[in-house]
Amino acid sequence: MLNVKQITKMIDNRMILDKVSFQVSAGVIVGLVGRNGTGKTTLLRTIMGILDPEGGTIEFEGKSVHNFPETKQQMLYVPDSPEAIHMYTPDECARLYQAIYPKFDHNNYETLMERFELPRRKKIRTFSKGMKALVSLILAFSTRVSLILLDEPTNGIDPIVKKQVLSMIVEESAERQVSFIISTHQLEELERIADQIIMMKNGGVEVQTSIMDTEERFAKVQVVFSGEAPQELLNLPRIYLLGQVGRVYTLLIEDETDKTLNEIKEVKPLLLEKLPVDLEDLFIMKLGGGKHV
Amino acid sequence: MIVINERSPSPIYEQIIQQIKELILRGVLLEGEKLPSVREMSGLIVVNPNTVSKAYQELERQGVIETLRGKGTFVAKQQSPRMEKERMQKFREALKQVAIEATYLGIDSAQLQKWLEEYMMELRGGTDA
Amino acid sequence: MFNKALWIKEWKQNGLLWLMPILAFFGVTSTRLSYVMDSENSKLMNLKMFQEQGADSFYLATNNTYGTIIMLVVFLCWLGVNQIGAERKNLMNDFTFSLPYKRWEIYLNKFTVGFVTLAASLVIATIIDMAIVLFSPFGMFFSPSIHIYEAVVCLSILTAFYSSLLLVGTMTGGSSMQLLLTIIFNLFPVLFAGLVLYFVEVNFGAENFLPNMDFGNMFMMLYSTPFLMYLGHIYPEFSVIPVILYSVVCLGLGTFLYNRSKLENNGKMLLFAKLETIFHFGVTICFALLGGMFAVVVSEETILHYYIGFIIFGLLAFFGFNYIKKVRFKG
């Protein structure tokens, strides 16, 4: 549905996006992660045609978004702060969206506003942070677009509203095959709701993986070796040191996990315990300073 | 109903499968009872719908639940656990891993049997009540 | 040009648009109203005076095109800045550009919202004005063509200014820059002419200069913006064609540039890096000429001081510009 092809973007003579490519199909929730300043927001803005890339194209259903802005009738960008619609009341915004997006469903908008008990005739600027997040999403879902880009949707929101927001996202994805690209630092959330993760580093796509794959491709263990830690083993590129406390090593293994685990078992460690792999571990391994033993 | 533990080494979709099975075994979910739809379930536990769908599909494949077209997903008749060769094999593999782990942890088979009995009693206690 | 959604958005965003008809009303009718609501004695005296001087004298005396244009120019400054410059902060530009419309469509709709409101305001005000004159003691002087002429003058000059304001908006990164540069752009020709003349005078002497140039023509050339031509009271020779042409050119250029907006430069002085060299050159020259003029005026010496001022201000501008072009303003 969405095809990002070799996008390059320079700002102030710095390469912010470096030949970024990926695809998003219908009904898929994609998590976009990366350290602060790696160009995640720039990428989202480029996809929406707000910024023009120096190279590459963005295609939606095969048509260039830049040349055919009508394709954006199926796309919506929800920034982390709804400043643009601050002066609107939700009803006014709904009226505007109805004129812009042909599939806008006013009944859905009214139902959701009622369900969450949000005021429809007060300016959005007066809402609390949680309310702003909810109303942005309600308006976004009511447009019935097929691709929604979310920039930090749960930033600064209390846990109750956060759960409501995330529930809404997965339900919408299930019900209407809406695709999401969610740029966030909330890795635990992504672990639960995302299908795919795109990790960005230095303006390029460092890792692109599906959540299921990560569970299969990676393993995390805590090891205590008897005697000296075997350097040749630990120096293997597929082993990454997540941390070390005293003689307890926490390792992340990428690919050939069974084989590697057996290799570790062969040196008869005092302790070998398998731990669940977090997205956070992956994040540190791929986007961190690059610590190998 | 279902609680997903992020810290668990078991992947989310397996947790869903296990917990639904457990709920059925304990009698919390009765035969013929309607399960939440994929959409409802994903919203309830805040999990990606494809993951929920995968769990449901596996449960259906195992005969634990069944989908009636246009009506929804229901708990299937749980007469006797179906002896699928494949499931048996998987189960024995898992058992083997447990044995390996036990050896490493220094747990002997007597202790293992004791724990097994405890867990079996717990489950049985649930279905009897 | 007339997109429903974009119009809803523009009307919401520019909440003060309803002020325009009110301002137009006050502008067009105020002097005439003051004559009409004067004391009976004054009215009789004026009536007599106008009858002696001829019908046209009434209109000349009560004309307030000047005031109307000034008032509405101020309002249009707010409007044009609010439509383009103010969007460049607060993610508003992001919102606008993420909508499913071509950029030139967005730009033209902004223009038409302003233009249609302006035109409608002037038309209504003119009609009321005509009624006021017709039903007043001065009704005998009534001449519809003069009313229409005044309205056309107002509309064309204001549209020209408005389109230049929007055009500058496509090139600048923020509200204050848009306003500042528009004012400079509209007054620039005559100020620049003054600086150049001074340069010539100081270097070659005034006597050498005057006979060699066709003064009138040169000044006509330099009064090149409609607004300026109007301020300079050249309007008796007013022809609407060049003014309309000016608006069309500004509009066309603005649309072209808006299509190529580089939003990553929002907040900076100029939106397009390519324009920076031209501006840099222009600003340096202007400041240099200005410096020279200051030096001579202050010290009352001639050529040497002129060039001292010239060089100092020139260098200041040259390096100052390098610094400013990297700064991102908040407004």
Contact A183, A41 (CB under 8 A): yes
Cβ neighbours of A95 in C, within 8 Å = 8
Contact C16, C117 (CB under 8 A): no
Residue A243 in 3-state DSSP? strand
Note whether A186 and A283 are same-domain residues. Answer: no
Smallest Cβ distance to A49: which of C4, C12, C97?
C97
Smallest Cβ distance to A170: which of B11, B49, B104?
B49
Contact A155, A80 (CB under 8 A): yes
Q: Check C99 against A72: CB less than 8 A apart.
A: yes
Cβ neighbours of B42 in A, within 8 Å = 170-171, 173-174
Q: Check A174 against B6: CB less than 8 A apart.
A: no
The type of residue at B79 is Q
Q: Check A77 against C98: CB less than 8 A apart.
A: yes
* DSSP β-bridge partners for residue A274: A221
Q: How far apart are CA B74 and CA B66, in angstroms?
A: 5
Note whether A249 and A172 are same-domain residues. Answer: no
Domain boundaries, chain C: 4-190+197-263, 272-331
Q: What is the pLDDT of residues B5-58, one digit of tens each?
A: 877 777 888 899 988 988 887 778 888 889 999 999 999 999 999 999 999 999
Last residue of a domain, one of A202, A234, A254: A202
The residue that leads in pLDDT, A48 or B2, is A48
Q: Which residue of B lies nearest to A273 if distances are taken between CA atoms?
A: B101
Q: How far apart are CA A239 and CA A255, in angstroms?
A: 9
The residue that leads in pLDDT, A262 or C118, is C118
Q: How far apart are the first and last CA of chain C?
A: 28
Does B57 contact A at CB distance below 8 Å?
no
Highest mean pLDDT: which range of A51-55, B121-125, C46-50: A51-55
Domain boundaries, chain B: 12-75, 85-128
Contact B58, B50 (CB under 8 A): no
Q: Which residue of A lies nearest to B7 if distances are taken between CA atoms?
A: A276
- Per-residue confidence in pLDDT tens, chain C, 331 aa: 788 999 999 999 998 999 999 999 988 888 888 887 777 777 788 788 877 777 777 787 778 888 888 889 999 999 999 999 888 887 889 999 999 999 999 999 999 999 999 999 999 999 998 888 888 888 778 888 888 888 888 898 899 899 999 999 998 888 888 898 888 888 777 777 777 777 777 777 665 555 444 555 555 554 567 776 666 654 456 677 878 888 899 999 999 999 988 888 887 878 887 788 888 888 888 888 888 777 777 777 667 777 777 888 888 888 888 777 777 665 4
- Cβ density class C261-279: b for 16+ within 10 Å, e for less: bebbbbbbbbbbeeeeeeb
Residue A210 lies in a domain: no
Return the CATH number at A116. Answer: 3.40.50.300
Q: Which residue of C lies nearest to A14 if distances are taken between CA atoms?
A: C264
Return the CATH number at A249. Answer: 3.30.70.250
Q: Which residue of A lies nearest to C5 if distances are taken between CA atoms?
A: A99
Contacts of A263 (CB under 8 A, 6+ apart): A233
Note whether A156 and A245 are same-domain residues. Answer: no
ipTM: 0.86
Q: How many CB pairs under 8 A join A and B?
A: 60
Report, as an integer, the average pLDDT of A200-221.
Answer: 82
- Helix, strand, coil shares of chain A, percent, nearest 5, are 40, 30, 30
Note whether A221 and A178 are same-domain residues. Answer: no
Residue A154 in 3-state DSSP? coil
Give me the helix-helix angle, C144-171 and C175-204, nearest 10°.
Answer: 100
Q: Which CATH number, 1.10.10.10, 3.40.50.10800, 3.10.50.40, 3.40.50.1000, labels domain B12-75? A: 1.10.10.10
Smallest Cβ distance to A96: which of C9, C91, C97?
C9
Give me the helix-helix angle, C19-36 and C65-80, nearest 10°.
Answer: 170
Last residue of a domain, one of A167, A202, A237: A202
Does A171 contact B at CB distance below 8 Å?
yes
Cβ neighbours of A101 in C, within 8 Å = 100
Q: What is the pLDDT of residues B76-111, one digit of tens each?
A: 876 555 545 666 777 888 888 888 888 888 888 888
**What is the distance, to the nearest Å, from the Cα of residue A19 to the centroid of all Cα atoms in its chain?**
19
Q: How far apart are the first and last CA of chain A?
A: 42
Note whether A180 and A224 are same-domain residues. Answer: no
Q: Is the pTM higher than 0.80?
A: yes
The residue that leads in pLDDT, A261 or A169, is A169
Smallest Cβ distance to A92: which of C12, C94, C102?
C12
Residue A208 lies in a domain: no
Residue A84 lies in a domain: yes
The residue range of the domain holding A238 is: 216-287
Note whether A109 and A251 are same-domain residues. Answer: no
Q: Check C8 against A96: CB less than 8 A apart.
A: yes
Here the tokens at position C58 are 């009434």
Number of structural domains chain A divides into: 2
Q: Which of A56-70, A162-176, C109-123, C285-299 has the lowest mean pLDDT?
A: C285-299
Here the tokens at position B88 are 């048996």
Here the tokens at position A212 are 């299921």
Smallest Cβ distance to C263: which of A51, A73, A101?
A51
C125-131, Cβ contacts within 8 angstroms, sequence gap of 24 or more: C125/C21, C125/C24, C125/C25, C125/C27, C125/C28, C125/C29, C125/C151, C126/C28, C126/C150, C126/C151, C128/C25, C128/C28, C128/C29, C129/C28, C129/C29, C129/C32
Here the tokens at position A98 are 């109805």
The residue that leads in pLDDT, A260 or C304, is A260
Note whether A236 and A260 are same-domain residues. Answer: yes
What 8-state DSSP symbol labels residue B36? P
Location of structure tokens 């508003």:
C92
- At residue C77, the pLDDT reads 92
Report, as an integer, the average pLDDT of A218-231.
Answer: 84
Query: CA angle, corner C269, sides to C267 and C273, nearest 5?
Result: 105
Q: Check A192 against B4: CB less than 8 A apart.
A: yes
Whether A60 shows a pLDDT value over 90: the answer reads yes
Least Cα separation, residue C320 to chain A (angstroms): 19
